[in-house]
Amino acid sequence: MVALNIQEIHKSFSIPTVKLDTVREHILNSFKMGKYLRNRRELRVLSGVSFSVKAGETIGIMGRNGSGKSTLLKIISGIYQPDRGAVQCALPITPILGLGVGWNPELDAIDNIYLLGTVMGLTLRELKTAKDEILEFAGLQEFSRLELKHYSSGMAMRLAYSVAFRAVRGLLILDEVFAVGDREFQERCYKRYEEIRQAGHTVLMVSHGPAEVERFCDRAILLEGGKVVQEGSGQEIVRAYVQLLTSEKAS
Whether residue 206 is predicted with pLDDT greater than 80 in this model: the reply is: yes
| Long-range contact set of residues 153-160: C-beta below 8 Å, sequence gap at least 24 | 154/180, 154/181, 156/99, 156/100, 156/103, 157/99, 157/181, 158/185, 159/109, 159/112, 159/113, 159/134, 159/135, 160/96, 160/99, 160/100, 160/103, 160/116
The predicted structure's pLDDT at residue 119: 79
**What are the extents of the domains in the chain?**
2-7+54-250
pLDDT at 204: 93
The pLDDT assigned to 85 comes to: 97
Fold (topology level) of 2-7+54-250: Rossmann fold (3.40.50)
Confidence tier at 35 by pLDDT (50, 70, 90): low
How far apart, in whole angstroms, are the C-alpha atoms of residue 210 and residue 60?
Answer: 10
Residue 139 is predicted with a pLDDT of 92
The confidence score (pLDDT) of residue 212 equals: 86
Q: How far apart are CA 213 and CA 230, in angstroms?
A: 15
Whats the size of the chain, residue-wise? 251
Dump pLDDT digits (tens) for 73-122. 999 989 899 999 999 999 988 887 755 556 788 999 999 999 988 878 88
Q: What percent of the chain has pLDDT over 70?
A: 86
- 96-105, 160-169, 203-212 — which is least confidently predicted? 96-105
